[in-house]
Amino acid sequence: MTSRAIGLALLIALLSGCSGGGFPPPAQTAPQAFSSDSATIGAPHVTHQDVYWTLFAGAPYPQVQIAAAPLKTASKSTSIYSSRKNNLLDSSGMAVDSSGRLWILSYGKNSGAPTSALVFELPLTATSIPKYTFVLSGTSGSDALAFGPSGNLWVTAPGYHEVLEYKGPFAKSGTLKPVTTITAVSNNLFGIAVDKSANVYFSLNNSRGSRSIAVEKPPYKASPYYLEGLMYPGGLIFDKHGNLYASTNGTPPAVVRYNSNHLQSGDKPNIVDPTGVPAGSYEAAFALTAKGDLYAANCGNAKTAGIDVWPLGSKTFSARLAPSVLYTNSNLRLVGCAWGIAIK
């Protein structure tokens, strides 16, 4: 059985034990987790950015879609499909590194065990091929990645119940061996983010209000503490002020914020915002524009799949702030999922 099938079986098993309030399984998706939830926040003078997202789907469907930011309801997107040259297949987590390159997790020819990280120079086009291809030794079904303050790569490996760290420089294609392995924290790893002090946060999708987000501090001895208060959490991201945004995906689904001074053991969100989030949503990953707007990849179902935007560059986050944009298109509706997201 492939890691994709194993991950899907785990997810279905988890959801089958949930009573009313559970989110639907991501259509066309497999294992758990989160997409890159570390976004590179550009300088204030940035005048143009693009938003990239994955659909976590097989070869008949787009692997990546691209649209100009700010995203609008009627925005036109460009689709990038799988090819033998780009190795994109079941593409999941995304991130932009400090050099402005786009990283995409792909199951590729190994069916996700191990998962590959494909590094592209931007702009991404239909003829783009990876500048580097890294096989991430020790991974199975990875679908979320983030970069730490030193530039090291962190990846979830739900198939092995692990979180892995890989050390740069990432300047030559090949197989990477992890320098850190955090084992047996949970088999439901759905999101990852790293703060400025190199503390690693990952969401645990089997949470029903307790042990929602595990936090590991250096030297990473697999002895986490936990943030509380989320149902089936997904994406995670820090803003430039050190506030942590996350998703809770029960009934109703919501985007939440833990303030930067409220990230200790047992802390619950300071703000819970369900306003305007469609029922059945699953906010799988987040990214931030240079202006500060919050974008989320929604992998709930055919009715909710798309990109949701909160205008935090011009409005204050609150329990009553509705998304300014709920974007979708025919491919997103067909697959029922937007999973990874990055902005550059």
Instruction: Look up residue 139 and give its two tokens.
Output: 């991974």
Does the pLDDT value for residue 7 go beyond 70? no
Cα torsion angle, 3, 301, 35, 221, sign:
negative
List residues bridging with 183 in a β-sheet.
Answer: 162
> For a pLDDT cut of 70, what percent of the chain falls above it?
86
Do the beta carbons of residue 95 and residue 79 sit within 8 Å? no
Domain count across the chain: 1
Least confident of 157-161, 224-228, 248-252: 157-161
182-214 b/e (C-beta count within 10 Å ≥ 16 → b): beebbbbbbbbbbbeebbbbbbbbbbeeebbbb
What's the average model confidence in pLDDT over 80-96?
97
> What pLDDT is attached to residue 10?
39
Q: Give the span between the Cα atoms of 297 and 308, in whole angstroms.
A: 7
Q: Could you tell me the CATH number of the domain that includes residue 95? A: 2.120.10.30
> What pLDDT is attached to residue 178?
98
Q: Give the span between the Cα atoms of 329 and 119, in whole angstroms.
A: 26
- The tens digit of pLDDT for each residue in 306-343 reads 999 999 999 999 999 999 999 999 999 999 999 999 99
* Domain range for 276: 3-343
Instruction: Look up residue 23 and give its two tokens.
Output: 């989110």
Instruction: Look up residue 37 and give its two tokens.
Output: 């939830």
Does the pLDDT value for residue 164 go beyond 70? yes
Q: Which residues contact 258 (CB under 8 A, 6 or more apart)?
A: 227, 243, 244, 246, 267, 268, 269, 270
> What pLDDT is attached to residue 117?
98
- The tens digit of pLDDT for each residue in 240-291 reads 999 999 999 999 999 999 999 999 999 999 999 999 999 999 999 999 999 9
Does the pLDDT value for residue 29 go beyond 70? no
Kindly report the average pLDDT of the chain as a whole number: 88
SS3 percent helix, strand, coil of the chain, rounded to 5, is 10, 35, 60
- The tens digit of pLDDT for each residue in 56-66 reads 999 999 999 99
> What pLDDT is attached to residue 284?
98
Give the 3-state secondary structure of residue 113. Answer: coil
What DSSP assignment string belongs to 191-258? Answer: EEEE-TT--EEEEETT-BSSS-EEEE-TT--S--EEE---BS---EEE-TTS-EEEEE-SSS-EEEEE
What DSSP assignment string belongs to 245-296? Answer: EEEE-SSS-EEEEE-TT--STT---SEEE-TTPPTT--EEEEEE-TT--EEE
User: What does DSSP assign to residue 22?
Assistant: P
Instruction: Look up residue 126 and give its two tokens.
Output: 């239909």
**Residue 220: exposure state from Cβ atoms within 10 A (0-12, 13-18, ≥19):** middle
Q: Which residues contact 127 (CB under 8 A, 6 or more apart)?
A: none
